[in-house]
Chains A and B, each alone.
Chain A
């Protein structure tokens, strides 16, 4: 970085006014007897984006903090950080090189879609059972492992589609059996603190699954051939700069942004499955029953829905979603029994950011975390450090969310049905 002073001065200025805004404005809104649930976040963003002007204006006017206002302020703050960075470090690759920036953003969105999809499973489980599944990363891991075993070891003739479907099926069964065997005492009120029990039980499942796979498979990494090859294509043909060019393993947009085949396939499949899932949740009886249980267990039971069956379905579906994400990404990364830890952490960050129990929140949060990570890895001058700090970027987002808006971006104020209240 050429002039780190500029950057850090701006950051300190923003933090200073942000803290001041969050604290002062909360008092102000309290004193005026207004709704304060949004105030810390909006105040911090106003302070960060506009400094004393923003805090002062909010202080004087105390407007109703609509989502639009808050979002605008937050965007302004992000733009300010980016501007400060580009002034401080004009020769950095992610400032000077537009093509690099475009490909970072695209790849950030693509990986964010996959993260978001995985987090969706976690949030589905939470919204219905009120449990954060700590085994989510292990479902992701066995998804990939099963694809490897099915398509390479057990049935070498089976196509990748069979592998993915088989992995999903087995993960679904594991989820269902685990839920029946371990989580049922949570619903009957036999356990004092069901939330903690759920955390520990899934923690135990994660531990067991991970070492079971390690014991069965060993610690050698595996990788699967990519599922489909792109056809060789150039569109529009004959022009100087093609919009889309594909080779078998790669897809290039505008001759600048390059997306690898496995990631592209994974992201597209995730979107398709997401649409299917939305259809399931909003158009079928089962999906409506699931959403009903997540809103009010007892009312759903009165309406003839068996909440226990929905619990099982939700846990199995959530596990299956994680396994599907793993099954799609096993063609992009090499696979180890420990591979689940990092995506699990991502999912945790994403669900808290999006609001525990909120499905659209999980998806938007996933894309945001993907972008933050892409910016972090692309822009931090020391590449090795940047890579080591990947887990930390999401955590910074998580900390800010918890401090400023504990319900997350789309959180319901009282998330989840009966179990979410505990603890």
Chain B
């Protein structure tokens, strides 16, 4: 009995790992896309549940850090190029025999992208000079680092605050990020959005099979492995001393501080890690859908992440991730509009109403979410919670 959650978890991982290979039904690309988006939300929901459920820091700015990651990757791939000869007009530095070119910011112009200094230089060069884009992976790493750094700074600033202030401030922070991205049209191209290269722009060969840039399988596995990586890191964190400290913080920050836990340091640490995860998810997603716009920072997105985490179980990040995947699938299934007795029901909006009601019902009556209690039930193997707690007190910490 006690192994049921582990076995089920392993089964799910194997299922999702094998799914794109064995699935032969219709709408292959669409199904894959839904799952990739599900994984994307799963990363956000699980890292948010680590922050909110484990550490008790209710940040509503998680999507802002996702956006920082996405825009970090986008700006990097948009402005940085390697060339084999200097352009003479751009900002450039020598780079191991080649030139690292930083394009000038021209924003959205009538002739779109042909006016920047690099394009003009290319027009003058003809075919004699090679121009390389920066590697996508480097952009993702930089986006992640940027998100983590922003998380560190914001964390240092706000984590002294109490719950209500923290929620308000992070919400405002995400509004600022959105305003900056929308306003700095010269650099971010505002509402026009920025186009990014695909995750594997030149195609990729995996195990002898060649995939083109539009194939869904490589991004599927990229996002899937990113999700697994994030879950592994979170598991490791939760089981280490660190996780213990963080939960002590949540339960009673003053008592934890009195027992010698450096509360601010651990709060900042968990904030940085989870925001870096959100940023990495954002960077990968940006390269996958190949465009970033300020609209991805709408409050709706944050609401979705919060709702997914809460419905899955906010105090268990695996449950939050599962909740995100299942809710994403469910939301897609509920897209089909229908009409009852001549009254057209626009399900694209009504499903969100349903979602909101579900969120409130779960909050009110299933405080630990819908999935986390299942995991707990099997992990306890029918024993009472008190028994588990007593044994755990004797034999160190056990994780459900």
Q: A181-B364, A193-B56, A423-B164 are in contact. Are A345 and B179 (CB under 8 A)?
A: no
**Chain A residues in 8 Å Cβ range of B158:** 402
Contact between B357 and A208 (Cβ–Cβ < 8 Å)? Answer: yes
Q: A200-B310, A392-B179 are in contact. Are A403 and B353 (CB under 8 A)?
A: no
**Chain B residues in 8 Å Cβ range of A212:** 353, 356
Stretch from B136-144, B168-176, B318-326 forming part of the interface with A: B168-176
* CB neighbors of A among B125-183 (8 A): 157-158, 160-169, 171-173, 175-176, 178-180, 182-183
Cα distance A117–B329 in the bound complex, in angstroms: 42
User: Distance (Å) between the CB of A238 and the closest chain B CB?
Assistant: 48
A209-252 interface mask toward B, CB cutoff 8 Å, 1 = contact, 0 = none?
Answer: 10110110000000000000000000000000000000000000
**Chain A residues in 8 Å Cβ range of B164:** 126, 130-132, 195, 199, 356, 420, 423
Contact between B353 and A392 (Cβ–Cβ < 8 Å)? Answer: no
Q: Which residue of A lies closest to B304 (CB)?
A: A207
Q: A199-B163, A402-B158 are in contact. Are A215 and B176 (CB under 8 A)?
A: no
**Chain A residues in 8 Å Cβ range of B184:** 385
Q: A182-B363, A215-B346 are in contact. Are A196 and B179 (CB under 8 A)?
A: no
Cα distance A29–B372 in the bound complex, in angstroms: 50
A377-414 interface mask toward B, CB cutoff 8 Å, 1 = contact, 0 = none?
Answer: 00000001100111110110011001100100000000
Cα distance A201–B162 in the bound complex, in angstroms: 18
Cα distance A180–B188 in the bound complex, in angstroms: 46
**Chain B residues in 8 Å Cβ range of A211:** 349-350, 352-353, 355-356
Q: Is A352 an interface residue (CB 8 A)?
A: yes
**Chain B residues in 8 Å Cβ range of A98:** none
**Chain A residues in 8 Å Cβ range of B250:** 193
Q: A211-B356, A345-B171, A398-B172 are in contact. Are A352 and B165 (CB under 8 A)?
A: yes
Q: A182-B364, A196-B52 are in contact. Are A392 and B176 (CB under 8 A)?
A: yes
**Chain B residues in 8 Å Cβ range of A196:** 52, 56, 58, 163
Q: Which residue of B lies closest to A199 (CB)?
A: B167
Contact between A395 and B172 (Cβ–Cβ < 8 Å)? Answer: yes
User: Distance (Å) between the CB of B168 and the closest chain A CB?
Assistant: 5
* CB neighbors of A among B26-85 (8 A): 52, 56, 58
Q: Name the interface size band of chain A.
A: 35 or more
Cα distance A249–B350 in the bound complex, in angstroms: 39
Q: Is B359 an interface residue (CB 8 A)?
A: yes
| Of the residues B52, B163, B356, contact of A422 by C-beta under 8 Å | B163
Q: Is A4 an interface residue (CB 8 A)?
A: no
Q: Is B367 an interface residue (CB 8 A)?
A: yes
User: Distance (Å) between the CB of A253 and the closest chain B CB?
Assistant: 32
Contact between A215 and B353 (Cβ–Cβ < 8 Å)? Answer: yes
**Chain B residues in 8 Å Cβ range of A385:** 183-184
Q: Is B98 an interface residue (CB 8 A)?
A: no
Cα distance A196–B250 in the bound complex, in angstroms: 11
Q: Is B306 an interface residue (CB 8 A)?
A: yes
Q: Is B307 an interface residue (CB 8 A)?
A: yes
Q: A389-B179, A391-B179 are in contact. Are A203 and B306 (CB under 8 A)?
A: yes
Cα distance A185–B157 in the bound complex, in angstroms: 32
Contact between B355 and A348 (Cβ–Cβ < 8 Å)? Answer: no
Contact between B303 and A207 (Cβ–Cβ < 8 Å)? Answer: yes
7 tightest A-B CB contacts, nearest first: A423-B163, A208-B356, A388-B183, A207-B356, A211-B352, A215-B349, A204-B360
What would 29 A/B residue contacts be, using CB atoms closer than 8 Å? A130-B164, A132-B168, A193-B163, A196-B52, A196-B56, A201-B360, A201-B363, A204-B356, A207-B356, A208-B357, A208-B359, A209-B356, A211-B349, A212-B353, A214-B349, A215-B349, A215-B352, A341-B299, A345-B175, A349-B172, A352-B168, A389-B183, A391-B172, A391-B175, A391-B179, A392-B175, A402-B158, A422-B163, A423-B58
**Chain B residues proximal to chain A, CB less than 8 Å:** 52, 56, 58, 157-158, 160-169, 171-173, 175-176, 178-180, 182-185, 250-251, 299, 303, 306-307, 310, 346, 349-350, 352-353, 355-357, 359-360, 363-364, 367
**Chain A residues proximal to chain B, CB less than 8 Å:** 126, 130-132, 134, 181-182, 185, 191-193, 195-197, 199-201, 203-209, 211-212, 214-215, 341, 345, 348-349, 352, 356, 384-385, 388-392, 394-395, 398-399, 402-403, 406, 420, 422-423
A sample of 14 more A-B contacts (CB under 8 A), given A192-B251, A349-B172, is: A134-B167, A181-B364, A193-B250, A197-B363, A199-B164, A200-B359, A206-B303, A215-B350, A345-B172, A385-B184, A388-B179, A391-B175, A395-B175, A402-B169
